[in-house]
Structure 1
């Protein structure tokens, strides 16, 4: 009993101090703000470039429809891209100075158009202040999907895997702007793989969304 009383005398002041500290500082409370804009049915119109090929540069126009299941997961049901190709000075020099035929294998890899579908995951959403005068809401996405690519060859339909990232800036409930950087890994046959990167900037129209 004597030892028990001594232990109790030592413990009581410590318990009292702990209770006092708990009352003074009940603990930090954190909260995550709900996103202001939500997507549902999305119609996208974009323009961009195919910048990578040494023999041509493509000016592209794209249209797509995306259904958003939730804030983070969506299905880009269908997308189509047409490329208007411009020969580079390197190709013109090869044809002029070295008599390289326009039907050379490397020249026939030019993309004419592409159609495909993608799954989209958007794990990041946030807002930032611009010059302390306005607030911009944005999200970042990853996508993966499949593509059918039409190149210049007579039998030029080729399958591809599409991988990419995107950033969306919200202008309001129904309007947002997207920057997408993707790469179609095209299986061109005979163990050949062609990388077709695409950089696009476009406008997205959102229907059926809520704030």
Structure 2
């Protein structure tokens, strides 16, 4: 009995401490803030480059309209891109030194313009600070859709698949800035595939969104 009483007396302080800690720390509470900015009707204007082809570089301008069904799902209903092409030094050297024909297949695959439509999924939205001075709200989105590409050939309308990744930074409820990096896999016929990557930055104007 003495041993039992001594054991109980030793346990009492530990139980009291445990109860006190439970009262001081009732549990971990986490909260997820709602989005500050929401999108609805989006008109986007962008400029960029077609960087990959060895024989030319394209300077592109793009206009698009996107309808946002929710915070995470949207449909880029239409986008149109025009490319102003600049010959590289490699192409000029081939034509000058090796008398390469300007109508060669590789030279005729230059993109003139593209139109297409994409689904957008935005799985990530957050905010961060810049130099502890400004709070920046941003989202990351994925793109997948179809494209029709006009190349230099006379029969040069080609279908393609567009896949890409983008980042949006919000300036206000009505204005945001986008960086889009995409790749158009173009089916050029005769089992030939052309990859047309694009890198562009743009400004997006948002209309009709509610808090």
Q: Same fold (TM over 0.5)?
A: yes
Aligned to 1:3: none
Give the CA deviation at 1:145. 0.4
Aligned to 1:135: 135
Give 3-state SS (helix, strand or coil) of 2:153's partner: coil
Aligned to 1:174: 174
Aligned to 2:68: 68
User: Is the aligned partner of 1:29 residue 2:1?
Assistant: no
* Separation in 2, partners of 1:182, 1:161: 10
Give the CA deviation at 1:24. 2.2
Gaps of 5+ in 2: none
Give 3-state SS (helix, strand or coil) of 1:106's partner: helix
Aligned to 1:187: 187
Structure 1 runs of 4+ aligned residues shifted over 6 Å read: none
Aligned to 1:95: 95
Gaps of 5+ in 1: 1-5
Give the structure-2-normalised TM-score: 0.91
* Separation in 2, partners of 1:27, 1:58: 58
Aligned to 1:57: 57
Give the CA deviation at 1:17. 5.8
Give the structure-1-normalised TM-score: 0.91
Give the CA deviation at 1:181. 0.4
Give the CA deviation at 1:153. 0.8
Cα deviation digits, residues 77-97 of structure 1 (max 9, x gap) = 000000011111111111111
Contact 1:117–1:145 (CA<8 Å) still a contact in 2?
Answer: yes
